[in-house]
């Protein structure tokens, strides 16, 4: 099944969110195939639908966030609050679940499965921890997952902590879970790890799990396809 694979590099959150919506419309219309966007964001907290009203899990005020250079967005995915930043591999699979068995819970489990397998390649034993979504090492989360599906077209996705600034997680209660921590691949391996060595492994495991056959396209080609799709 052909799937566009797009490496966005460093991209502001709003720009990537806008792109997700444009690509999603193209996938929905059938003008674009399933598309995998991979990106690294500047520091940002994003708040899912379940936490829009209270913001009780946002701990740092505006002044502290400005000092740390962290933006804040209220977004339309499920879940609570999370962090994205440099050193974190963020993946946005924009796929039509009618081609992958119209089951959102199964989709979430398959994302987890892919990341667990990628971590295992590096010698890291990671697990699921029901009822929480995501990927865990003991009592610490190494990958957060939060998605949206409209008309069976997915948006948002996963964030794998490769080597981010873990101190930025102190400004939130990650995913609203107060009794567990956050970790990274670099911390678990005890050495520097970069996205360049991790990304191909994650791509491979996603392809294996979902049956993707990647066609790599650049951002210019993708935006051209989006414009052509209407």
Q: pTM, whole model, 2 decimals?
A: 0.96
pLDDT tens digit string along 37-95?
Answer: 999 999 999 999 877 777 899 999 999 999 999 999 999 998 899 999 999 999 999 99
219 against 230, higher pLDDT: 219
Pairing of strands 34-40, 44-47: unpaired
Structural domains counted in the chain: 1
Q: Residues 123, 88, 100, 200: is their CA dihedral positive or negative?
A: negative
For residue 93, indicate whether it is catalytic.
no
CA 21 to chain centre: 15
Q: Is 78 exposed, middle or buried (0-12, 13-18, 19+ CB in 10 A)?
A: middle
Label residue 229 by pLDDT band (50, 70, 90): confident
pLDDT of residue 134: 96
Mean pLDDT for 177-206 is 96
Mean pLDDT, the chain, rounded, equals 95
Decide if pLDDT at 192 tops 90: yes
Q: Which domain holds residue 12?
A: 2-229
pLDDT of residue 86: 98
- CATH number for 166: 3.30.930.10
pLDDT of residue 1: 79
Neighbours of 42 (CB within 10 A): 14
Annotated catalytic residue, options 8, 175, 182, 188: 175
């Amino acid at each position: 099944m052909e799937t566009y694979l797009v490496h966005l590099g460093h991209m502001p959150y709003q720009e990537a969110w806008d792109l997700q919506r444009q690509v999603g419309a193209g996938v929905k219309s059938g003008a674009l195939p399933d598309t995998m966007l991979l990106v690294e964001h500047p520091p940002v907290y994003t708040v899912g639908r379940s936490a829009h009203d209270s913001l009780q899990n946002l701990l740092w005020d505006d002044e502290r966030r400005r000092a740390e250079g962290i933006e804040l967005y209220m977004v339309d995915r499920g879940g609570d609050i999370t962090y994205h930043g440099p050193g974190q591999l963020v993946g946005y699979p924009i796929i039509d679940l009618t081609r992958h068995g119209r089951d959102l819970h199964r989709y979430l489990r398959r994302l987890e499965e892919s990341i667990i397998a990628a971590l295992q390649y590096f010698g890291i034993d990671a697990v699921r921890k029901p009822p929480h979504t995501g990927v865990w090492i003991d009592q610490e989360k190494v990958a957060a997952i939060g998605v949206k599906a409209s008309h069976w077209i997915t948006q948002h996705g996963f964030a794998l902590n490769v080597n981010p600034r873990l101190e930025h997680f102190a400004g939130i209660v990650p995913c609203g879970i107060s009794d567990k921590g956050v970790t990274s691949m670099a911390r678990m391996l005890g050495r520097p790890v970069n996205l360049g060595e991790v990304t191909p492994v994650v791509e491979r495991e996603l392809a294996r799990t979902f049956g993707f056959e990647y066609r790599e396209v650049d951002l210019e080609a993708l935006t051209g396809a989006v414009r052509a799709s209407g």
